[in-house]
Amino acid sequence: MTLDEIVVPPIQRVLIIGAGIAGMQAALDIANAGYEVVLVEREPSIGGRMAQLSETFPTLDCAQCILTPRTVEVGHHENIRLRTYSEVEAVEGDLGDFRVRIRRHAAYVNWDICTGCGLCQEKCPKRVVSDFERGVGKRKAIYTLSPQAVPNKPVIDRQSCIYFERGKCRACEKFCPVGAIDFEQEDAVVEERVGAIVVATGYDLYPLSLMGEYGYGEVPDVIDGLAFERLLSASGPTAGQVRRPSDGKEPKEVVFIQCAGSRDPELHMPYCSKICCMYTAKHAMLYKHKVHDGQAYVFYIDIRSAGKRYEEFVQRAMEEEHVLYVRGKVSRVFRENGKVMVWGTDTLSGRNVEVAADLVVLAPAMVPKAGAGAVAELLGLPTDEHGWFTAAEANFQPVETGRPGVFLAGAAVGPMDIPETVAQASGAAAKVLSLFARWSSEVTVTSQVTVT
Ligand SMILES: Cc1cc2nc3c(=O)[nH]c(=O)nc-3n(C[C@H](O)[C@H](O)[C@H](O)COP(=O)(O)OP(=O)(O)OC[C@H]3O[C@@H](n4cnc5c(N)ncnc54)[C@H](O)[C@@H]3O)c2cc1C
């Protein structure tokens, strides 16, 4: 055999960035086919936005009940190397041999010996507003995202920790039965080699406090859709009871406002966020299931419910649950005598509408996840004018990028519901698997030629 005949085989391992339902689905498809997956997640645990949801439209399945078996499977899969609380900071190489540098943030807890007993969280004296609970719930300075977290290992939030702030406390360390707290822990950097990459970084909600509209950030009883999911969720801060943030009372009149920052080319995002009509109908319906004598109003521009059994779902909200749909835009939301006043116009009747609500729930535009631009830059991928990743070709290559070996999955591409996200993720996984299959046959053929 001469040196020219030696072939370095492409690496049949994949890196997936983001472990929401898209990244998890792609990881499971590839891992179940027998290939290794490195799954990188920025948060301490996996599941993405779906882990925040209460029930899912149009079936009203319990989101946690259908998600947990998958997070557990990902967490235990022998072919999946889970790297949570981590981010990709450099990528070199090309299709078949990417070299990826990953930074694992210091958790200040030795996860190798932590048993996830939760005592540290129980004993921690510092409570702070929780991002995961979307501002309607609190967590400790040492925390896991949720009771179902995978991995079920806590991290210390350095900014909130009394010890890091003032040099004393160490309650978590005192009570940890296995000595897992490590205040000296530092970030760790590892390198992984993979042959292909899937980007599944998902979405955020439009930062409504920047809009200065609808009272968000000023009126405590104006919240966004994800916060309402947490109020509805049995594992949420109110154990599934709908309570308004200001005084914990059960709201009897709730106004839902769609297109908050979407379809507004002059001031905000010009595009339709596609799923808000559906989750608002779900919210209004679930609210009525919990507060039988409550009244739900939905302000909408028009209803976009394209999807199997989606239209029927919205009709059910209107006809069976008696949710009052008002076609029109809201002009003002403000606080008065403990109520949230909502002024708008019903464009069908031409009349002004005024509701003295107890709670207002906004459906903000979906926007690319913070940091998606940096990932695009690392990988040399194009994004559109709003920052969403763009496919190589919209019709026939929806999960491919212009860069060979790099694929897209889920809401990193644009607003998407769970079924579409999962289908897309399986599409990206199929593309990776077909690359690996091709490489296997090429390597076999080459070695056969070399031998004969
Ligand atoms: C209020 C609300 C209600 C909804 N209800 C429903 C419903 O009932 N039914 C339905 O079908 N859909 C619903 N959806 C939509 C659903 O949330 C999405 O379809 C789904 O979460 C998309 O999954 P994803 O994995 O693409 O993105 P995400 O869930 O956003 O997951 C992305 C993951 O990537 C991680 N990540 C991001 N950047 C990086 C990085 N640089 N490095 C490492 N990790 C990173 C994130 O931390 C996150 O874990 C709802 C959405 C909202 C806002």
Express each pLDDT in 231-263 by its tens digit: 999 999 999 999 999 999 999 999 999 999 999
Which atom of ligand 1 is nearest to 229's Cα? 1
Output the pLDDT for position 9. Answer: 86
- 203 CA → ligand 1 middle, Å: 6
Cα–Cα distances (Å) from 136 to 95, 123, 239, 243, 337, in that order, read 44, 22, 12, 10, 22
Residues 409-420: b if buried by 16+ CB within 10 A, e if exposed = bbbbbbbbbbeb
Residues 3-105+187-202+369-444: name the CATH superfamily. FAD/NAD(P)-binding domain (3.50.50.60)
Q: What is the chain's length?
A: 452
Mutation pick for ligand 1 pocket among 417, 422, 424 (CB with most ligand atoms within 8 Å): 417
**Max CA separation in the chain (angstroms):** 89
Distance (Å) from CA 48 to ligand 1 centroid: 5
Residue ID of nearest Cα to ligand 1 atom 35? 18
Helical pair 276-290 and 310-319, crossing angle rounded to 10 deg: 40
Tell me if 286 sits within 8 A of 54, measured CB to CB. Answer: yes
pLDDT at position 443 is: 65
Q: Is the pLDDT of residue 265 over 80?
A: yes
Q: What is the per-residue pLDDT across 75-131, written as a single tens digit (0 to 9) for each?
A: 999 999 999 999 999 999 999 999 999 999 999 999 999 999 999 999 999 999 999
Does residue 449 register a pLDDT over 90?
Answer: no
Whole-number pLDDT of residue 340: 98
Bridge-partner residues for 156, per DSSP? 142
What kind of fold does domain 207-366 have according to CATH?
FAD/NAD(P)-binding domain (3.50.50)
Confirm or reject: Cβ of 226 under 6 Å from ligand 1.
Answer: yes
User: pLDDT tens-digit profile of 192-204?
Assistant: 999 999 999 999 9
Residue minimizing CA distance to atom 13 of ligand 1: 417
In whole angstroms, what separates CA 407 from the centre of its chain?
19
Q: What is the pLDDT of residues 280-329, one digit of tens each?
A: 999 999 999 999 999 999 999 999 999 999 999 999 999 999 999 999 98
Residue 41 in contact with residue 82, Cβ under 8 Å? Answer: yes
Band of the pLDDT at 448, cuts 50, 70, 90?
Answer: very low
| Segments in 82-237 forming alpha helices (H) | 119-123, 162-166, 171-175, 225-232
Long-range contacts of 233-238 (CB under 8 A, 24+ apart): 233/52, 233/53, 233/54, 233/63, 233/64, 234/54, 234/62, 234/64, 235/64, 235/146, 235/147, 235/148, 236/54, 236/133, 236/136, 236/137, 237/130, 237/133, 237/136, 237/137, 237/138, 238/136, 238/137
Locus of tokens 């004993």: 123
358-373 confidence digits (pLDDT tens): 999 999 999 999 999 9
Is residue 183 over pLDDT 90?
yes
Would you say the CB of residue 44 lies under 6 angstroms from ligand 1?
no
Residue-by-residue DSSP string for 358-403: SEEEEEEPEEEPTTHHHHHHHHT--B-TTS-B--SBTTTBTTB-SS
194 lines ligand 1 (CB under 6 A): no
Does residue 224 have its Cβ closer than 6 Å to ligand 1?
no
The rounded mean pLDDT for the chain is 95
Helix (H, G, I), strand (E, B) or coil at 85: coil
Q: What is the pLDDT of residue 6?
A: 52
Residue 275, ligand 1, Cβ within 6 A: yes
58 CB near ligand 1 (under 6 Å) = no
Span from the CA of 37 to the centroid of ligand 1 (angstroms) = 20
Span(s) in the chain for CATH 3.50.50.60: 3-105+187-202+369-444, 207-366
Per-position DSSP letters for 274-322, written without gaps between them: SSHHHHHHHHHHHHHHH-TT-EEEEEES-----STTHHHHHHHHHHTS-
Q: Is the CB of 436 under 6 A from ligand 1?
A: no
pLDDT of residue 442: 82
Of 29, 9, 24, residue with least CA distance to 433: 29
Q: 319 Cβ partners below 8 Å, 6+ apart?
A: none
**Rounded-to-integer distance, Cα 136 and Cα 148, Å:** 19
Mean pLDDT of 134-155: 96
- pLDDT band (50, 70, 90) for residue 450: very low
> What is the percent of the chain with per-residue pLDDT over 70, rounded to a whole number?
96
pLDDT given at position 444:
54
Which uninterrupted H or E stretch holds 447? helix 418-451
